Amino acid sequence: PRLANQIAAGEVVERPASVVKELLENSLDAGATRIELDIERGGHKRIRLRDNGCGIEKNELELALSRHATSKIATLNDLERILSLGFRGEALASISSVSRLTLTSKPGAQREAWQASCEGRDMTVTVTPAAHPDGSTIDVADLFYNTPARRKFLRAEKTEFQHIEEVIKRVALSHPQVSFSLKHNGKSVRRYTAVAADKHHQRIAQVVGQKFIDNATHVALDYQGMAIEAWLGNENVTRSSNDCQYSFVNNRAMRDKLIMHAIRQAYESAYGYHEQPSFVVYLTVDPAQVDVNVHPAKHEVRFQQSRLVHDFIVKTVSDALAPPTA
């Protein structure tokens, strides 16, 4: 099973940041409102996440570490209308096949906490008693220790940590009601305090900066079952902003070609050519209209009515940037 898991890991676990992303999504799926991340040496040495989510029952721990075990899809119908973030049941199994992973958890209704770790060629899971408050801790140490070929592709500590920070920012931008803290090598690096779920702009101020919010054009619009809310950097702040391009579909971060293209086109029609517009865009569409399983790392979506979505974005964004004169 280890080999099969490692092959799957090749798809999902590219680098430390991909581990962070999977762990964060699991915590959010578990309803966590407080997430703490402790990173050592860019994640090469250790990635530890603690959450206050629903936890995993003792007799589910082993299952959580095995492949294709997911508690999130009950019927095929769910697949089509999937709302939860993770659904493939592979992440933990894959990660544990290329690292030393321990999972410690305590559901609120369970008296004691238990810890599961996964070892050896056959990935035997051992479960032992532990001390832990309600919620879970996932500790991923020595990533790629047993896959030298992958380890070779790891970049400098600093680069890997930057990728981790990007992942956190995206997740934080789409979950304002959750608090996040991030430490690197024991030092606190970021702290986003929870704000109301509908106060996206407050979270954007925490993540991107108050200056961006103060200068951005804000637009919110509904049309034929789609909704968009966006903060659009104006001409003056677009220069050095290639690191401020965030788009979300149904609250998932997406670097989707269609969305990027639509936004560029909107800036172009409003301002003339724009190389790097800065923006934070939240798009909401009927879940039945999108396929999020295009890529295992889930950065891309497929819209059933892609033309409609594209044109909706172009029109909304360009009208907001340069209101049409009646």
Letters for 131-150 (x = contact with ligand ADP by CB under 6 A, - = none) are -----x--------------
Q: In which residue are the tokens 């639509």 written?
A: 262
Cβ-based nearer residue to Mg ion, 26 or 97: 26
Sign (positive or negative) of CA dihedral 281, 210, 85, 168: positive
- CB–CB of 241/207 below 8 Å? no
| Six token digits for residue 270 | 């409003």
Of 13-21, 83-91, 156-164, 312-320: span binding Mg ion (CB under 5 A): 83-91
- If one asks whether residue 16 binds ligand ADP (CB under 6 A), the answer comes out as no
Among ligand ADP, Mg ion, none, residue 229 binds (CB under 5-8 Å by kind): none
In this chain, which of 26, 104, 137, 174 binds Mg ion, going by CB under 5 A?
Answer: 26
CB within 8 Å of 295: residues ≥ 6 apart: none
Angle at 50 between CA 45 and CA 54, to 5 degrees: 140
- Give the residue, chosen from 55, 176, 233, 277, that forms a contact with ligand ADP under the rule CB under 6 A: 55
Work out whether 104 is an interface residue with Mg ion (CB under 5 A).
no
Should residue 22 be labelled a site residue for ligand ADP when binding is judged by CB under 6 A?
yes
Choose, by CB under 6 A, the member of 47, 64, 208, 313 that binds ligand ADP: 64
Q: Quick one: which of 2, 4, 62, 89 contacts ligand ADP (CB under 6 A)?
A: 89
The minimum distance between CB 35 and ligand ADP, in angstroms, equals 9
Contact stretch for ligand ADP (CB under 6 A) within 49-57, 187-195, 234-242, 274-282? 49-57
72 part of the interface to ligand ADP, by CB under 6 A: yes
Pick one of 16, 42, 43, 53: the residue that binds ligand ADP (CB under 6 A). 53
CA angle 258, 263, 269 (to 5 degrees): 125
Please identify, among the stretches 90-98, 177-185, 272-280, 316-324, the one whose residues bind Mg ion according to the rule CB under 5 A: 90-98
310: number of Cβ within 10 Å: 16
- Of the two residues 72 and 132, which places its CB atom closer to ligand ADP in the complex? 72
CB of 9 to ligand ADP, least distance (A): 11
**Cα 153 off chain centre by:** 22
The binder of ligand ADP chosen from 21, 48, 58, 88 (CB under 6 A): 88
Find where tokens 């095995």 sit.
66
Ramachandran category for residue 83: left, alpha or beta (phi over 0 → left; psi -120 to 50 → alpha): alpha
Q: Give DSSP secondary structure letters for 113-171.
A: EEEEEEETTTTEEEEEEE---SEEEEEEESTTTT-HHHHHT---HHHHHHHHHHHHHHH
Residue where the block lists tokens 């070892």: 119
Q: In the complex, what is the shortest distance from the CB of residue 307 to ligand ADP, in angstroms, rounded to a whole number?
A: 31
CA distances for 282 relative to 58, 141, 142, 240, angstroms: 38, 34, 36, 22
Q: What distance in Å separates the CA atoms of residue 146 and residue 320, rounded to the nearest whole number?
A: 52
Query: Among residues 87, 114, 267, 282, which is the contact residue for ligand ADP, using CB under 6 A?
Result: 87
Q: Which of 86, 107, 135, 277 binds Mg ion (CB under 5 A)?
A: 86
Footprint of ligand ADP on this chain (CB under 6 A)?
22, 26-27, 30, 51, 53-56, 64, 69-72, 86-93, 136
Footprint of Mg ion on this chain (CB under 5 A)?
26, 86, 91
